[in-house]
A and B are shown apart, each in its own frame.
Chain A
Amino acid sequence: MCETCGCGQPDNFTIRMPGEELTDDHNRDHDHEHHHEHEHDDDHKHGDRHKHHHEHEEDHPHGHSYEQSSPTPRMIDISKDILSENNLTAERNRGFFEGRSIICLNLVSAPGSGKTTILEKTINERAKEREIFVIEGDQQSMNDAERIKKTGVPVVQINTGAGCHLDARMVNSAIKRLELSRNSVLFIENVGNLVCPALFDLGETKRVVVMSVTEGEDKPEKYPYMFASSHLCIINKTDLLPYVDFNVEKAMEYARRTNPDLEIILMSAKTGEGMQLWYEWIDKNQ
């Protein structure tokens, strides 16, 4: 967590472009933006890399809140969502995207379902018509960012270290490294994990969950939160259907049980099946 101010924010993620060395100065992107009300704590010393936003939007009457501290314990009402800080940052990201007509898609899946492959193919077939940018999330490696870099589109890698999901702050820092243009598409490949990313809004336009036919068709039932919070489900690797025991109907039924509104596209990033539907779905989000 944040050593300087003890604010409990994980600061151990790094952001870099492929080929860029990890220098302490540049990449330890500790400019998480606090929405703490720090007005009173004068003895609270911060390095100047901290950007404090003294927005006192929380000036609502707390009744007892602004009284001098009394020696007896008192009950202080807080009533705040645990994720309120993340959600606030997510809304700022969302506003940034909306203001520039950027479609931001958050791709989530278990490791190996085909997220990076889908992105590579999408970029190869679509980047001429519409500018594409990518944020890659991974605990340690730069592999996916290197793969995307080969396609020629701008990419930054977020390494979350011990963290098992991206959060809105990380994305907020990452978009400062990309010169996102109007009307572009920003893909965020989340850390391969079907549990943790579910709770963290990044400010994306839509969330896309990818599963592949080499996984069990009961995946949606095992990870209901991820499927419930997604807008589109891609069932990938359909070219392998003849060789695996995967019931597409059942998978679709499980997926819709967790989320009746979930759209579903059957896809093979290898043969190209379903890619056209995917591109149409992306454009529909404009």
Chain B
Amino acid sequence: MHELSLALEVLGLVTSEAAKNRVKVIHEIQIEIGKISGVESDVFQAALEISARNSILDNARIIIINSPGKGRCMSCSEEFDMEDLLALCPNCQHQPSEITGGRELKVLSMMAE
């Protein structure tokens, strides 16, 4: 359940950002969880909702954006969609030389006052 650890990391990060920006109420928080980041988005959201109780995030709307998995083919250099980490280039069946998207784990922004 690394999703719980990550939820606690988010809570820590948001708490310090709130202090830094002198806000008392957070209405909404936007988080990016890449589709091939190794984090289950639903599990993470549930973990964050539980962790948020009695914290500054208690009543905040949690918005999770799932960025798609993308890789660049090591053979033809085309970018292709990756459903999972093992996905191959649909043109030449080669592995990606690099993963260009979908591994993001990021707190993007918050709506707060």
Residues of A within 8 A of B (CB): 1, 6-10, 34, 36-38, 40-41, 44, 62, 65-66, 68-86, 163-165, 167, 195-196, 198-200, 221, 224-225, 228, 257-258, 260
B24 contacts which of A65, A69, A74, A164 (Cβ < 8 Å)?
A69
Contact yes or no, A83 B20, CB < 8 A: no
- Given the known inter-chain contacts A1-B51, A164-B2, A165-B2, please indicate yes or no for A37 contacting B111, CB distance below 8 A: no
A178 to chain B, nearest CB (A): 24
Chain A residue numbers with a CB within 8 Å of B109 are: 75-79
Chain A residue numbers with a CB within 8 Å of B13 are: 8, 78, 80, 82, 84-85
Chain A residue numbers with a CB within 8 Å of B108 are: 77-79
A196 contacts which of B2, B12, B84 (Cβ < 8 Å)?
B2
Contact yes or no, A163 B111, CB < 8 A: no
- Given the known inter-chain contacts A69-B22, A73-B111, A80-B107, please indicate yes or no for A85 contacting B2, CB distance below 8 A: no
Interface residue range, chain B: 35 or more
Chain A residue numbers with a CB within 8 Å of B25 are: 73
Chain B residue numbers with a CB within 8 Å of A38 are: 16, 19
Per the bound structure, the CA–CA distance linking A196 and B43 in Å amounts to 13
A49 to chain B, nearest CB (A): 17
Contact yes or no, B6 A83, CB < 8 A: yes
Per the bound structure, the CA–CA distance linking A78 and B27 in Å amounts to 15
What are the interface flags for B85-98 relative to A under an 8 Å C-beta threshold, 1 for contact and 0 otherwise?
Answer: 11000000001000
Per the bound structure, the CA–CA distance linking A76 and B17 in Å amounts to 9
- Residue of A at shortest CB range from B9? A82
- Given the known inter-chain contacts A8-B15, A80-B107, A224-B86, please indicate yes or no for A164 contacting B1, CB distance below 8 A: yes
Q: Cβ of B10 < 8 Å from any Cβ of A?
A: yes
What are the interface flags for B27-52 relative to A under an 8 Å C-beta threshold, 1 for contact and 0 otherwise?
Answer: 10001000000110000000000010
Chain A residue numbers with a CB within 8 Å of B86 are: 221, 224, 257-258
- Given the known inter-chain contacts A1-B11, A74-B111, A82-B105, please indicate yes or no for A257 contacting B95, CB distance below 8 A: yes
Chain B residue numbers with a CB within 8 Å of A6 are: 11, 15, 55
B55 contacts which of A8, A36, A41 (Cβ < 8 Å)?
A8
Q: Taking each of B5, B27, B105, which has the highest tally of chain A beta carbons within 10 Å of its own beta carbon?
A: B5
Chain A residue numbers with a CB within 8 Å of B63 are: none
Chain A residue numbers with a CB within 8 Å of B85 are: 224-225, 228, 258
In the A-B complex, the 7 residue pairs with the smallest Cβ-Cβ separation, listed nearest first, are A8-B11, A36-B16, A8-B12, A196-B2, A224-B85, A225-B38, A8-B8
A7 contacts which of B2, B16, B31, B106 (Cβ < 8 Å)?
B16
Chain B residue numbers with a CB within 8 Å of A76 are: 17, 21, 23, 109-112
Q: A7-B11, A77-B109, A221-B86 given. 4 additional CB < 8 A pairs?
A: A36-B15, A74-B111, A83-B6, A196-B2
Per the bound structure, the CA–CA distance linking A224 and B96 in Å amounts to 14
- Residue of A at shortest CB range from B105? A82
